[in-house]
Amino acid sequence: MEERKESAGSAESNAGRPEELGVSMELEDKSTEAVETIQAELEETKDKYLRLYADFENYRKKMQRDKEDLIKYANESMIYELLPVIDNLEMALRHTSEGDPEAVQSLKQGVENTLREMIRTLEKHGVRVIETLDKPFDPAYHHAMSQVERSDMESNTVVEEFRKGYLYKEKVLRPSLVAVSKKQ
């Protein structure tokens, strides 16, 4: 009888195993499905990333081309506005070839008009003349070429301008060449 109990006991223990196997197979199937789902999501995410990266690279290249074009053609509008200045100078030169006194007066007037137009165009784009005469000497804006003894002026005052200086917006484009006073 003891043998029967052992075989009955072993049958009972074997009976638990197929249930365990069924549960573990079920868990294994769920794990496989979960892994496949995660792998599919990973592939989808990777595909989205690669597309986004490609879009970003295309955008970066386009921005670089646009920046290069902007730098390359930045002065286009100013140059276009300076073309009438060239036209006026050419017209003034044509008038001087005639050789009569009226032509000289016409040339003078043409050059004056051209100068005014050139200054107007430069001012429109942020270029200004540095005011110098009777102003205190400032090495940030003026370059002293000489000193002149003057009893009627304060020391370090600009008394003569040899060449005009210009500001571009707030930056010194070219300093003025000046003569500065000093007391006798």
Query: What is this structure's pTM?
Result: 0.53
Number of domains in the chain: 1
pLDDT > 70 in the chain, percent: 83
Element holding 145 (H helix, E strand): strand 142-149
- Which has more confidence, 61 or 117? 61
Amino acid occupying residue 8: A
pLDDT bin (cut points 50, 70, 90) of residue 108 is: confident
pLDDT, average across residues 20-32: 71
Instruction: For 2, list phi and psi in degrees, rounded to 5.
Output: -65, -35
pLDDT tens per residue across span 169-183: 888 989 999 999 998
DSSP 84-128: HHHHHHHHHHHHHTT-SHHHHHHHHHHHHHHHHHHHHHHHHTTEE
Residue 73 belongs to a domain: no
111 pLDDT above the threshold of 90: no
Count how many residues are written for the chain.
184
Residues 6+ apart with CB under 8 A from 90: none
Residue 174 domain boundaries: 127-184
**pLDDT value, residue 169:** 85
In a domain, 35, yes or no: no
User: What pLDDT does residue 33 have?
Assistant: 87
Residue 111, domain member (yes or no): no
pLDDT value for 11? 46
Q: Residue 166 falls within a domain, yes or no?
A: yes
Do the domain assignments include residue 6?
Answer: no
In eight-state DSSP terms, residue 26 is H
Task: Look at residue 153 and tell me if it is in a domain.
Answer: yes
Which pLDDT does position 99 carry in this prediction?
63
Q: What CATH number did the domain enclosing 174 receive?
A: 2.30.22.10
Q: What is the mean pLDDT of the chain?
A: 82
- Domain contains 174: yes
Confidence of residue 17 (pLDDT cuts 50, 70, 90): low
Whole-number pLDDT of residue 15: 47
Per-residue pLDDT band for 48 (boundaries 50, 70, 90) equals very high
